[in-house]
Amino acid sequence: MELSMGSNKGRGFMGVVVATAVLMSFAGLAAAQSSSGSTNAHVGVSQGITPSGLTPSSTLAGAADSQVGSWAANPPPPQPLLPLPTSRATVTVPASIDATGATDVTSKLTTFFERVPSGTTVVFPAHAIYRCDGSLVLYRAANLTIDGNGAVLKTETTGAGATPSTGRSWEWPRSRASIVLEWSSNVRIENLTISGPNSPGGYGTYHPALEAQAGVDVEYSANVSITSDTIRFVYGDFVYISGGSRNIQVTDNVFNGSGRQGVSVTDAQYVLIEHNSMFRAGRSAIDLEPGTHAGLAEHVDIYDNEIVKAGLSFVAAQGYGPYVSNVNVVGNDLIDMPMDIQVRASDGSQRHNWMVLNNTTDFVQGSPVAPIEFWNVSGIVIEGNHQPMVSSRPSVALYLQDPCNWAVRYNSFPGAEATEPQGIAGSCGWTNAAA
């Protein structure tokens, strides 16, 4: 998925509304006619923006494009990959555990992993099938690599008839995730297939009574890598991250058919979601949604993913509190779905530092609601994105409510209504400047 500024730079942006309580005029807003007949406007900002603590190549200052550095041309790199866990020994899952998928081996696999010492690489037999009707709970695992070697963890039931796994008896079977990492550190799960009973998954397969049945549930853990895995047909999320977890990486996976979200971050910092192929998430592809005012979804990098037909949003960032901040959404390809990014705290908290750069979709959005919405966010950069809009009726591509320190440039929103930004209020203090 190589995206360059070359195809978008110079197209300007169309269909943007900036709304606040007090209407003011923008005499300096210059409009220009594009070759497609749509009205374009370049919008800059007179105050510097340094999302995620980064420094732009040139300060965002002044009204002219020549004075404004482009983040889209030089996007910040994603977080570096975690090093492999330190492993002193390699062990293979014993042959005494049924690898044909005929019997439930949740208890036997759990007991095996409980006896694996720190600093071990566990290798599954190639292409084995392990039936797990409960949760494989890895509690306080450390310096552990799990090499699936093409093996499958298979669940064919909702878990209603299975014995609740240790620590998962609350709201069973709602809480039955396939793999649970609790209070663990330096863990890598790779080359493993997790297959649930919710085939084919996708929109319309959300069941609240089963919504916590994630493929991988990461809780209270640090330095976890979920890479080169396949997770499919789960009732919950492909990956769920919570409990104040830190340094979690979800990279190079294939996700297919969930009942709820794709990847959810409800309480975590420093999360990398990169190079994944995601098909048919039942609701939103990426969900950054703390359940409390103090919950965290901070320093989240969403880079170079291919996402096909999620049921609701591309990025849903609602929930509570100000700490859904320092988020970079860069270079993602969306297929058969709009670039729906909703950033709005349910309790009205101000959030900070969001970059949306070089994302594309082939979906022509026709809803009267703007696909990209930011409410009460300080430090917004939206550059180099492509979102077609229905031209046969009024369509707005981007809506900003009470923004601070923002820049919107070099996007392509063909078919969008050329709506002049209007209004400014509050104490955040920004100045609109036009090229």
Residue 394 — very low, low, confident or very high, per pLDDT cuts 50/70/90? Answer: confident
Q: Please give the model's pTM, rounded to 2 decimal places.
A: 0.85
Q: How far apart are CA 301 and CA 27, in angstroms?
A: 37
DSSP label of 211: T
pLDDT at residue 72, rounded to an integer: 87
pLDDT at residue 432, rounded to an integer: 32
Q: Report, in this order, helix, strand and coil percent for the chain, each rounded to 5.
A: 5, 35, 60
Q: How far apart are CA 268 and CA 248, in angstroms?
A: 8
Residue 417 — very low, low, confident or very high, per pLDDT cuts 50/70/90? Answer: confident
> Is the distance from CB of 377 to CB of 404 less than 8 angstroms?
yes
Report the candidate in 156, 158, 111 with the shortest Cα–Cα distance to residue 130. 156
Q: What Rg do the C-alpha atoms of the chain give, in angstroms?
A: 23
pLDDT at residue 49, rounded to an integer: 34
pLDDT at residue 368, rounded to an integer: 78
Mean pLDDT of the chain: 82
pLDDT at residue 119, rounded to an integer: 96
Residue 274 — very low, low, confident or very high, per pLDDT cuts 50/70/90? Answer: very high
DSSP label of 111: H
> Is the distance from CB of 323 to CB of 300 less than 8 angstroms?
no
pLDDT at residue 418, rounded to an integer: 62
What lies within 8 Å, CB to CB, of 432 at 6+ separation is: 18, 26, 28, 29, 43, 44, 45, 421, 424
pLDDT at residue 396, rounded to an integer: 85
pLDDT at residue 62, rounded to an integer: 28
Average pLDDT (104-130) is: 97
What lies within 8 Å, CB to CB, of 367 at 6+ separation is: 338, 395
pLDDT in tens, 291-305: 999 999 999 999 999
Position 163: which residue type? T
> Is the distance from CB of 433 to CB of 28 less than 8 angstroms?
yes
Compute φ and ψ for 148, nearest 5 degrees: -65, -25
pLDDT in tens, 200-249: 999 999 999 999 999 999 999 999 999 999 999 999 999 999 999 999 99
pLDDT in tens, 55-87: 333 233 223 333 345 788 889 999 999 999 988
State the burial class of residue 391 (Cβ atoms within 10 Å of its Cβ: 0-12, 13-18, 19+). middle
pLDDT at residue 18, rounded to an integer: 55
pLDDT in tens, 312-333: 999 999 999 999 999 999 999 9
